[in-house]
Amino acid sequence: MAKSGKNSDNASESKKPAPSSRTNGPAGGSRTPKGRVPVASNPPNRSRRFLGRGQTPAPEVPSKSSAEAGDASAEITAATSSKKKYAYGGGALILVFIGAQLVSSVVFGMVQSQTSYDFTAPAGIGAAVGQASSQFAGGEMLAISVPPPLWLTALMQIPLWLGLGAAPIWFAIKKGKGVVADLGLRMKPIDVPVGLAIGVACQLILVPVVYFLLRPLLGVNDVSAAARELTDRASDPLSIVLVFLIVGIGAPVAEEIYFRGMAQRIFGRRLGPWAAIFAAAAFFASTHLQPLQFPALLVFGVILGFMAWRSGRLGPAIWAHVGFNVVAAAGLLFQFGPT
């Protein structure tokens, strides 16, 4: 009897069904309720027989995170903003220059027609004596030409200053983003001593060095002849003050606004910084219409352009231009310096 009981127990144990993956979960896990299919933690791989021969499943492309998408959109925005659209450019630059010259010429013609002054006559007593002597030797009636007074010459510069200085400001305010953003028209207290020192050094050191190096090509010439025609008419205190107002304040401010503020920045949109500086300097030197002064004005214009570009404002260049012109005028008036 004992033997048969033991056999019956073994038979009952052998009849127990083996665990199945259809009814049980993972090893050691809980039993899945009947009628439900367990969900795998990873999606099943697609069978190769549905892909055809020689084909492998395509790798899954990871989706970009929100941070990566934000970086991509920022790069697109930066690339779009780098191609800036300007409200004015080279056409406005040419229009301002031609307009300033045209208005100045019209005013000059009106003044010349309404007065008896000879605007081509050289100033000074020596010029008048030479003119009288030539007329007397030729048996002609004495008719000494009288040059215009210095105050009239100063007033005739106003249309040119308005064209070169005020017109770029108008474009910057009405068409652009303001005089600071478009022209760099601002200055700091440090600009005054630094700019004046550089301008004086350029007039007293740079100009003599330039013409010493060019002496084999140019010879010995009076490069200050054109400026001396203006200073020779300064025979009284008022005239001397007018000379410094014309040469020392009006011309530097108007020219720096136009050449370094407007022209150089417009050139810089298509050229590199150094090419824009050189182009603006060449434009600046050529508009003076003085071939002998061109080399010195070109080098000085490059220095002014570098100062404006390096500082990001016109203050240093304006004060350097003031120092350069004031020393030249003072040298001609009071007979000192290399001028």
Per-residue pLDDT of the chain (339 residues; tens, 9 = 90+): 555 544 445 444 445 555 554 445 445 445 555 555 555 555 555 444 444 444 555 555 555 555 555 555 555 554 444 456 778 888 999 999 999 999 888 888 888 788 877 666 555 444 444 545 564 555 665 555 667 777 777 778 888 888 899 999 999 999 999 999 999 999 999 999 999 999 999 999 999 998 888 888 877 666 566 666 666 666 677 777 877 888 888 889 999 999 999 999 999 998 989 999 999 999 999 998 888 889 999 999 999 999 999 999 999 999 999 999 999 888 777 766 554
31 beta partners:
24
For 333, other C-beta atoms within 10 Å of its C-beta total 17
Work out how many domains the chain is built from and give that number. 1
Structure tokens at 320: 């350097």
Tell if the pTM clears 0.75, that is, is over it: no
pLDDT score at 318: 97
Greatest pairwise CA separation for the chain in angstroms? 174
Q: Is residue 134 part of a domain?
A: no
Q: What is the DSSP letter of 115?
A: S
Distance, CA of 267 to CA of 65 (rounded, Å): 42
For 36, other C-beta atoms within 10 Å of its C-beta total 7
Q: Is residue 253 part of a domain?
A: yes
Q: Which amino acid is at 41?
A: S
Place of tokens 């970086």: 71
Q: Which domain holds residue 310?
A: 180-334
Q: Is residue 81 part of a domain?
A: no
Q: Is residue 53 part of a domain?
A: no
Do 258 and 168 touch, CB atoms closer than 8 A? yes
Distance, CA of 171 to CA of 244 (rounded, Å): 29
Q: Is residue 187 part of a domain?
A: yes
Query: Residue 31 phi/psi, 5° resolution?
Result: -80, 135
Q: Is residue 88 part of a domain?
A: no
Structure tokens at 317: 């260049």
Strand ranges, E, within 217-305: none
Q: Is residue 83 part of a domain?
A: no
pLDDT score at 261: 95
Q: Is residue 224 part of a domain?
A: yes
